[in-house]
């Protein structure tokens, strides 16, 4: 991998420099055009590159010199000379010309010029004569070689300030005018004193190139070039998925190329991060520089700068004076100094005559807001979330939020919570741009755990499995004495001391009762008496051989699984793996169904245990072993154990982004599902499809996803129990929503139609079907879409999304007043709910404002104050659209307002009779 030299482009090889120079091509072309037009008998048109730190001044200057060397006509006429180091040693004009001679030696690899510089320094002590002699040597080079010199001097403003005596600056100007043999190209962080005002020595002397921040396409172009250079082809997928995240960072960093390269590194290292976390990491990496730059300022200037940096918006001088408790004259003097040094800049709005001040490098502002302002931190976080939603492909998040909200409100039955949330967990886990992702996942897992309660997969499940198998196959039930059954019940209620007593009493009466010892191990494990528990389990496994009856081997299997779990808890994973390795000695594919079922189900539970401890490789290995004991022709209850195992394995692989493995494992699972299977197995198979579908989506295999969507519908029948049909209907509506987001509207509609047939009161099915018609832009069916949307609102009166969809349909029909009313109703219903679909709401408000209803949109936003905070740029854009004069705003928000108002203008052209809704 090629090294990314972020802070010193001079260390790049010519090939690396050329490959890394992606943006600023137009500026480079213009600089070369100017160079080509320079007249030999007239003073040169000198150039100055102006831009804040990291804007690419050095890279552009060096690339310009390289282009001169690579262009035959230019290389024959010009000698590029770069001042590679900071010119801190230059304190007079003599130093300037002597330094040029030293760098000329480096550029030409001819030591004569450096030798002459050293000789002059030794022989001549008068600064003015020394400067004249050194300049004369440079002219000698030009005449001898037939080439004119290009001097590229970085931080020219600092060099001028170091010259001290203004006469030196005037002398430099005179020399450059007198000698067309020398072209000066400088760089500076800001337009500085010596060139700003009429009467200054270099006023209108340079052709100034202002290096602004890069645009979105330039950003993406550079990302792709970096990825290609480093052979990271997977970055393309990240770029496509993270448009909102990247655009948000671009805007908040001002399009700074250096910060862009750092952002690229973050994307590589943390592809599943978020825009706000990226911002925090960039701030952390830049903090030492921020501190050093601020510490360079005098005390009062630092105080004024701190005031500007903490401000959300540009400030008037009197506002700074009040905040810093400095006099007006002192404040004005400090502001002027900060502007001259490039720390601050002047700004004024179109309608305001007064000058305001803000931090020149907006990233300083973000640094201060994150570090020193609680209110600013919150406001910035809301802005990041809004920009990420405004510019990113995130409509799918509405489904995450609405489902979690409904699950937490008690709307679905408890037994439906795991299925509904489990269906979305793989999607949420891979949606790195979703700001609430971690909170969503934590809340979802908590809801699932609470819905399962103590009846989930715990240690007592082992006993239940054995008892169920024995009863179903009419095996020897003598081991199930009353005390043993009592022990199972005590274990289920986690009354481990009493369970131990019952089991020990049974063993005292029946020393050969292996099942009692088996349960004793669980009771001891529950009491954290792990060594005693291991002894109990080992007593069982040592008493059973591979040739024993299936029932005895079932006990031994359970004991091995439990022993492995305890060893793993004790962090003895090596011995745990050895114990699991003994399982094939006790069971194979030709064994009776009960034995293979026990092996499959217990290994599945052990895999769950490993996965919960974040030991996913051990979990995957355990599930892989469990899958070996089931055949397609096995009884349904045995195949169901396999389906559960495959689903869990698929979800873990999805979380690890191992999509090819997911497909290879799950594509064949349909052979274990039959049309005449029970609803329980078919429902389990439908859940397993979600992991497979996630892999299809991530791999871009959309046709396969659509096929899978159709297969899902085949797993449910009208004859199935009502509660099962209701569960299927909700899952089918969720899948149909995903089909909408993929642009597969026909598939979405067919899924919703089936869901409504299964459960006519499934409101989400009606809502998603209305959305499918809207997204397909089928104007002839708008009345039909309205019926579906209104039906959804009737069935889900507490669901904001239902009324939002009704509003969108009415807007498409041109019924704007009714659309506004329903949108207001949606927002009123959403009051008190934690989540809201920001992306679609933003688009709906933009459509309404573009249609000429800005005043009403502003009233809606005012009546729901949270919107003016969470959608601050949109709020200001709507205000401006009504003709209201805006106060001075931060640069990022001002630019977002401009972009949103452009959207208003674009959409106005599309609105006359039928309004194409932007989804």
User: Domain residues of the chain, as ranges?
Assistant: 9-210
Instruction: Show the DSSP H helices in 430-495 as ranges.
Output: 437-452, 460-472, 482-492
User: What's the rounded mean pLDDT across residues 278-283?
Assistant: 83
* Residue of 203 and 488 predicted with greater confidence: 203
pLDDT in tens, 519-569: 888 889 888 898 999 999 899 888 888 888 877 888 888 888 888 888 877
Please report which confidence band the pLDDT of residue 381 belongs to, taking 50, 70 and 90 as the band edges: confident
Write the CA distances from 253 to 364, 370, 373, 768, integer angstroms.
9, 14, 19, 38
Looking at residue 407, what is its pLDDT?
Answer: 55
Q: What's the pLDDT band for 34 if we cut at 50, 70, 90? A: very high
Q: How many CA atoms lie within 13 A of 50 on its CB side?
A: 16
First to last CA, the chain: 41
Nearest residue to 4 via CA among 218, 154, 217, 229: 229
Paired sense of beta strands 356-359 and 344-347, if any: antiparallel
Indicate the SS3 state at residue 148: strand
Q: How confident is the model at residue 909 (pLDDT cuts 50, 70, 90)?
A: confident
Rounded to 5°, the CA angle 208-214-217 comes to 140
- Going by pLDDT thresholds of 50, 70 and 90, the confidence category of residue 477 is very low
More confident residue, 361 or 853: 853
* pLDDT tens digits for range 699-724: 778 788 888 877 777 777 888 888 88
- Contacts for 584 with CB less than 8 Å, ≥ 6 apart: 625
pLDDT at 256 over 60: yes
pLDDT at 853: 93
* Proportion of the chain above pLDDT 70, given as a percent: 85
In the numeric block, which tokens belong to residue 215? Answer: 């645009």
Phi/psi of residue 347, nearest 5 degrees: -150, 150
If one compares 1 and 133, the residue with the highest pLDDT of the two is: 133
> What is the DSSP-derived secondary structure letter of residue 850?
I
Task: Output the pLDDT for position 739.
Answer: 83
CB 344, CB 338: distance < 8 Å: yes
Pairwise pLDDT comparison (612 vs 63), residue with the higher score = 63
835, pLDDT greater than 50: no
Element (H, E) at 459: none
684-704: average pLDDT:
79
- The whole-number pLDDT of residue 68 equals 94
User: Are 43 and 174 a contacting pair, CB within 8 Å?
Assistant: no
pLDDT averaged over the chain? 81
**Mean local confidence (pLDDT), 219-248:** 76
Q: Which tokens hold the place of 431?
A: 């949606």
Distance CA 836, CA 1 (A): 43
Four-way CATH pick for 9-210: 3.40.50.300, 3.40.50.1390, 3.20.20.70, 3.40.50.10470: 3.40.50.300
């Amino acid at each position: 991998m090629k090294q990314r030299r972020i802070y010193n482009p001079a260390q790049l090889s010519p090939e690396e420099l050329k490959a890394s120079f992606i943006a600023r091509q137009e500026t480079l072309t213009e600089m070369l055009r100017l160079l080509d037009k320079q007249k030999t008998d007239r003073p040169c048109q000198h150039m100055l590159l102006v831009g804040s730190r990291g804007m690419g001044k050095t890279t552009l200057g060096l690339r310009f010199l390289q282009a001169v060397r690579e262009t035959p006509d230019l290389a024959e006429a010009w000698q590029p000379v770069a001042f590679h180091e900071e010119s801190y040693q230059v304190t007079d004009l003599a130093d300037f010309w002597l330094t040029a001679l030293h760098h000329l030696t480096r550029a030409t690899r001819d030591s004569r010029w450096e030798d002459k510089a050293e000789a002059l320094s030794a022989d001549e002590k008068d600064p003015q004569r020394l400067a004249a002699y050194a300049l004369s040597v440079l002219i000698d080079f030009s005449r001898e070689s037939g080439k004119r010199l290009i001097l590229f001097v970085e931080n020219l403003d600092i060099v001028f300030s170091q010259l001290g005596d203004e006469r030196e600056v005037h002398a430099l100007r005179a020399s450059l005018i007198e000698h067309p043999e020398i072209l000066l190209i400088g760089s500076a962080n800001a337009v500085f004193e010596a060139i700003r005002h009429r009467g200054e020595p270099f006023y209108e002397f340079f052709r100034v190139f202002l290096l602004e921040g890069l645009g979105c396409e330039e950003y993406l172009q550079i990302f792709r070039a970096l990825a290609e250079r480093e052979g990271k082809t997977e970055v393309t997928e990240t770029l496509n998925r993270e448009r909102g995240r990247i655009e948000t960072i671009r805007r908040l960093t001002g399009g700074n190329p250096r910060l862009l390269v750092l952002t690229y590194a973050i994307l590589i290292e943390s592809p599943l991060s978020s825009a706000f976390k990226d911002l925090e990491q960039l701030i952390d990496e830049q903090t030492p520089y921020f501190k050093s730059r601020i510490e360079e300022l005098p005390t009062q200037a630092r105080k004024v700068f701190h005031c500007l940096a903490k401000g959300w918006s540009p400030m008037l001088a009197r506002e700074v004076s009040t905040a810093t408790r400095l006099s007006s004259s002192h404040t004005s003097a400090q502001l002027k100094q900060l502007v001259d040094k490039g720390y601050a800049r002047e700004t004024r709005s179109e309608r305001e005559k007064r000058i305001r001040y803000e931090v020149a490098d907006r990233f300083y502002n973000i640094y201060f807001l994150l570090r020193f302002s609680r209110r600013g931190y919150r406001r910035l976080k809301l802005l990041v979330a809004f920009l990420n939603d405004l510019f990113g492909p995130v409509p799918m998040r509405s489904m995450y939020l609405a489902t979690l909200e409904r699950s937490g409100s008690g709307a679905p039955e408890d037994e439906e919570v795991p299925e509904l949330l489990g269906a979305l967990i793989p999607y949420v886990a891979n949606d790195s741009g979703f700001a609430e992702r971690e909170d969503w996942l934590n809340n979802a897992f908590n809801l699932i755990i609470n819905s399962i309660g103590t009846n989930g997969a715990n240690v007592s499940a082992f006993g239940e499995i054995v008892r169920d198998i024995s009863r179903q196959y009419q095996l020897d039930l003598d081991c199930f004495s009353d005390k043993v059954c009592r022990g199972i019940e005590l274990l289920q209620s986690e009354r481990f001391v009493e369970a131990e007593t019952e089991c020990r009493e049974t063993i005292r009466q029946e020393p050969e009762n292996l099942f009692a010892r088996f349960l004793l191990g669980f009771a001891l494990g529950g009491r954290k008496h792990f060594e005693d528990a291991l002894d109990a389990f080992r007593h069982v496994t040592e008493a059973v051989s591979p040739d024993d009856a299936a029932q005895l081997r079932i006990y031994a299997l359970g004991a091995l699984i439990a022993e492995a779990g305890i060893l793993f808890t004790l962090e003895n994973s090596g011995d745990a793996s050895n114990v699991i390795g003994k399982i094939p000695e006790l069971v194979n594919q030709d064994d009776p169904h009960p034995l293979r079922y026990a092996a499959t189900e217990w290994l599945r539970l052990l895999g769950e245990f490993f996965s919960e401890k974040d030991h996913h490789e051990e979990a995957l290995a355990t599930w892989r072993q469990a899958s070996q004991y089931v055949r397609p022709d096995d009884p349904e209850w045995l195949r169901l154990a396999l389906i559960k195992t495959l689903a869990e394995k698929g979800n873990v692989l999805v979380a690890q982004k191992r999509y090819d493995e997911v497909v290879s494992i799950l594509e064949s699972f349909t052979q274990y599902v039959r049309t005449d299977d029970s609803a329980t197995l078919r429902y389990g198979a439908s859940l397993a499809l979600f992991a497979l579908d996630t892999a299809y989506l991530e791999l871009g295999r959309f046709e396969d996803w659509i096929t899978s969507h159709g297969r899902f519908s085949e797993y449910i029948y009208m004859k199935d129990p009502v509660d099962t049909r209701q569960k299927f209907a909700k899952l089918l509506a969720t899948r149909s929503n995903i089909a909408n987001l993929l642009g597969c509207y026909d598939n979405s509609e067919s899924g919703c139609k089936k869901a409504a047939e299964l459960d006519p009161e499934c409101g989400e099915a009606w809502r998603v079907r209305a959305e499918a018609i809207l997204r397909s832009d089928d104007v002839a069916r708008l009345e039909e879409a309205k019926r579906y949307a209104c039906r959804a609102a009737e069935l889900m009166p507490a669901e904001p999304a239902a009324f939002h969809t009704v509003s969108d349909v009415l807007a498409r029909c041109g019924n704007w007043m009714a659309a506004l009313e329903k949108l207001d109703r949606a927002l009123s219903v959403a009051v008190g709910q934690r989540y809201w679909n920001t992306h679609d709401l933003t688009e709906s408000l933009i459509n309404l404002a573009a249609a000429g209803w800005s005043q009403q949109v502003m009233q809606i936003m005012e009546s729901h104050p949270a919107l003016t905070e969470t959608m601050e740029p949109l709020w200001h854009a709507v205000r401006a659209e009504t003709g209201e004069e805006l106060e001075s705003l931060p640069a990022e928000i001002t630019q977002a307002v401009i972009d949103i108002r452009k959207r208003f203008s674009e959409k106005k052209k599309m609105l006359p009779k039928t309004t194409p809704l932007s989804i």
